[in-house]
Chains A and B, each alone.
Chain A
Amino acid sequence: MKNIYIFSTIIFLLFLIVAPSIAQEEMTKEQWQTEMASYKAKEADLQSQLTQLNKDIEDLKAQSTKLDADILACEDALYALLGVTRADVEAFDSELTQMENRVSEFQRMSDAELVNYKDEMVKMDTRLKEMAQSKICMIPRYGDRVSALQQKLMALLNSIQKEKTYTVGTWARDRDCLWNIAKKKDIYANAWMWPKIWQGNRDMIKDPDIIKPKWVLKIPEGSELSKEEKSAANKYYRKKAAAEPAEVPAEQPK
């Protein structure tokens, strides 16, 4: 009899332990009702939020469309004030954007590289001056852009226009001639660059064979001879060859 009591008690205890987990796995009717009510309320709330959002989006779209029309009208009125067309402004904007990109490329270059683009920069500067005179530049955003670009370009031009100079010494002491000056490491380190010094100092040097002590020569930037410099050098060599056929160019000019 005692064994039955013990057995019954163990069964009962087991039941107490297992019953809650059975209850958790299988939903009761009350839990179902509670969940249904909760989800229905949530669904209604979300539906209402969605309706409101759809309405807000429609309002915003209408606002956006109206703004497009207002902007267009405002721009047309602005261009009419200036006597220009939308196409003129677009072309101006496009040209300016291209120049801005090009100047950004220049800004990433070293001074040595930049020297090769000096002509392009000078042309761009001239064009910017013309653009600054345009009526479109009365629109502040374009005026500001042109002015900012001019400043950047000027800074770039200044950075390559700091000219180096060389004071001529005597032939007896320094062996200074255009050939030897160009050969110096701190000048061009290349004797064949002598025509660059000649052409850069045409105001002083009439004959490249004659340079005088204490002359302060400008040393133009660059690592190559320009077309004009090459042409001047060739002319010089031909003249020299006609006058002194046996002379070796490496020893000239003095």
Chain B
Amino acid sequence: MKKLINFVIIASLLIGGVMFSSCSSSPSEEELRQLDDLKKSVNALDKQISDKKAEKAAIEKQVAEKNGKLQQCQSDQEAVKKGLGN
């Protein structure tokens, strides 16, 4: 019984040691800075994309309005030609 207990304790300490040693393998400060820069770059890109999407939507609206205006003008031309008997 005593041997078994000893075995459990030793095994536990070994496992614990292994876990601790694996946890303690962390990236260097330079690597963490790289990750931080990358995150900042992704966030900046996100914002740029959001701005560009808004700009695109505004221009699409303008284009749709201008298309409508052109169609209106063409239809006015037809009506005037008809009215003038051309």
Contact = CB atoms under 8 A, between A and B. Distances in A.
The judgment on whether A and B are partners is: yes
Interface of A: 5, 8-9, 12, 15-16, 19, 22-23, 26-29, 32, 35-36, 39-40, 42-43, 46-47, 49-50, 53-54, 56-57, 60-61, 63-64, 67-68, 70-71, 74-75, 77-78, 81-82, 138-141
Contact of A27 (B26, B46, B72): B26
Contacts of A27: 26-27, 32
Contact of A138 (B26, B39, B79): B79
26 contacts: A8-B12, A12-B16, A15-B20, A19-B20, A19-B23, A22-B23, A23-B23, A26-B24, A27-B32, A28-B27, A29-B26, A40-B38, A50-B48, A53-B49, A53-B52, A53-B53, A60-B60, A67-B66, A67-B70, A74-B73, A81-B77, A81-B84, A138-B83, A138-B84, A140-B75, A141-B72
Contact of A12 (B13, B45, B55): B13
Nearest to A40: B38
A64 B66 contact: yes
A47 B49 CA distance: 9
Interface in B29-86: 31-32, 34-35, 38-39, 41-42, 45-46, 48-49, 52-53, 55-56, 59-60, 62-63, 66-67, 69-70, 72-77, 79-81, 83-84, 86
Contacts of A139: 76, 79-80
A42 B42 contact: yes
A28 B63 contact: no
Nearest to A57: B56
Contacts of A68: 66
A179 to B, nearest CB: 58
Given A36-B34, A43-B45, A50-B52, A15 B9 contact: no
Interface of B: 5, 9, 12-13, 16, 19-20, 22-27, 31-32, 34-35, 38-39, 41-42, 45-46, 48-49, 52-53, 55-56, 59-60, 62-63, 66-67, 69-70, 72-77, 79-81, 83-84, 86
Sort A-B residue pairs by CB-CB distance and give the 5 closest, nearest first. A46-B45, A67-B66, A32-B27, A74-B73, A53-B52
Contact of B26 (A26, A42, A61, A64): A26
Contacts, number: 123
Contacts of B53: 53
A200 B42 CA distance: 83
A32 B70 contact: no
Nearest to A19: B19
Nearest to B82: A138
A40 B16 CA distance: 34
Given A23-B23, A53-B56, A81-B80, A75 B73 contact: yes
Contact of B63 (A23, A26, A63, A74): A63
A25 to B, nearest CB: 10
A58 to B, nearest CB: 10
A182 to B, nearest CB: 53
